[in-house]
Amino acid sequence: MLRGASFDAHGAVRIVDDFVAIHVNDREHTMRIDRVDGVVWEAPTLTVHVGHDVIELTGHAGLQPLGVQIVSAALALPEFTRTMRGLGSRRGHVGGDHDRFFAGLLAARRAAEGFEEPDSRLAAFDPRRLTAAMTTLIGELAAERFPESPPDRRALEAELLEHAERLYAALETLGEAAERVRTSSNAMRLARWRDWTWAVLHVFEEADRSWIAMVPALKASPVPVVKRRFWRQAKP
């Protein structure tokens, strides 16, 4: 089934850039790899699921590696930080706190890029770990600014947590998307993977928005400067 029509004929299939090209009945049909919902190999048949289309390919020893190549290309990670305004900009800097705020997400991205297995990439963006780390950091930011005033510390922490509410919600959604990838069938695994990458992108966007919202409160309450004491040695 291709483009709503049924075919049972000899043909050829190949990958061209980011497309799968299928040549049958003197016509070439192309589909974007990032639109493939799933790939199933059950020898000797490679089945490619794309929306409502189901393409079954048989009769060539290269079909299994072709399926592996399609899956590998479909699992590529997109650029998550492209649209962020606060990351690395003067607008978003408040000393080293900026780097601390984004460190967890950037470390997760680097770890995910170092893995090829989907499960390892999912684990790199563990939402529970990222949520706990963010909560700890917010507490530290407030404590550093008001080490001697618990009421002020609690007020600032509450304000920062309020700015991070949408980020926490995005992390919860990310966990749900990861679970759907883990429990999906091969026929829909790549579609669920795309949903997960969009959820990761949304986490980065919400982290960016949260940080920019926090900056005024952090600037209004700078970390107090610790005065050094200089001791003069008494002359004998």
The pLDDT value recorded for residue 129 is 97
Length of the chain: 236
The pLDDT value recorded for residue 7 is 72
CB 34 within 8 A of CB 18: yes
| CATH number of 37's domain | 2.30.29.30
Evaluate the CA torsion angle 175, 176, 181, 184 in order and state its sign.
positive
Note whether 144 and 187 are same-domain residues: yes
CA–CA separation, 129 and 46 (whole Å): 38
Note whether 105 and 175 are same-domain residues: yes
CA–CA separation, 79 and 77 (whole Å): 7
- 236 residues of the chain, pLDDT tens digit each: 666 667 778 888 888 888 999 888 888 888 899 999 999 999 999 999 998 888 888 888 899 999 999 999 999 998 888 767 766 655 546 678 999 999 999 999 999 999 989 999 999 999 999 999 999 999 999 999 999 999 999 999 999 999 999 999 999 999 999 999 999 999 999 999 999 999 999 999 999 999 999 999 999 998 887 666 555 555 55
DSSP state of 59: S
Note whether 133 and 51 are same-domain residues: no
In a domain, 53, yes or no: yes
Taking each helix axis from N to C terminus, what angle separates 165-183 and 189-220, rounded to the nearest 10 degrees?
Answer: 160
In a domain, 85, yes or no: no
The pLDDT value recorded for residue 10 is 84
Note whether 30 and 113 are same-domain residues: no
The pLDDT value recorded for residue 67 is 94
As a 3-state breakdown, the chain gives helix, strand, coil percent values, each rounded to 5, of 55, 15, 30
17 is written with which tokens? 């850039």
Residues 6+ apart with CB under 8 A from 226: none
Could you tell me the residue range of the domain that residue 25 belongs to? 11-74
CB 175 within 8 A of CB 127: yes
Q: What is the pTM of this model?
A: 0.86
Note whether 103 and 194 are same-domain residues: yes
Note whether 126 and 197 are same-domain residues: yes
Note whether 116 and 201 are same-domain residues: yes
| Domain total of the chain | 2
The string of pLDDT tens digits covering residues 61-103 is 899 999 999 999 999 998 888 767 766 655 546 678 999 999 9
The pLDDT value recorded for residue 171 is 98
Note whether 43 and 102 are same-domain residues: no
CA–CA separation, 9 and 19 (whole Å): 21
The pLDDT value recorded for residue 89 is 55
Note whether 136 and 189 are same-domain residues: yes
CB 204 within 8 A of CB 84: yes
Q: Which pairs with CB-CB distance under 8 Å and at least 24 residues apart come from 184-189?
A: 184/38, 185/38, 186/38, 186/39, 186/40, 187/37, 187/38, 187/40, 187/47, 187/49, 188/37, 188/38, 188/49, 189/38, 189/118
Note whether 103 and 70 are same-domain residues: no
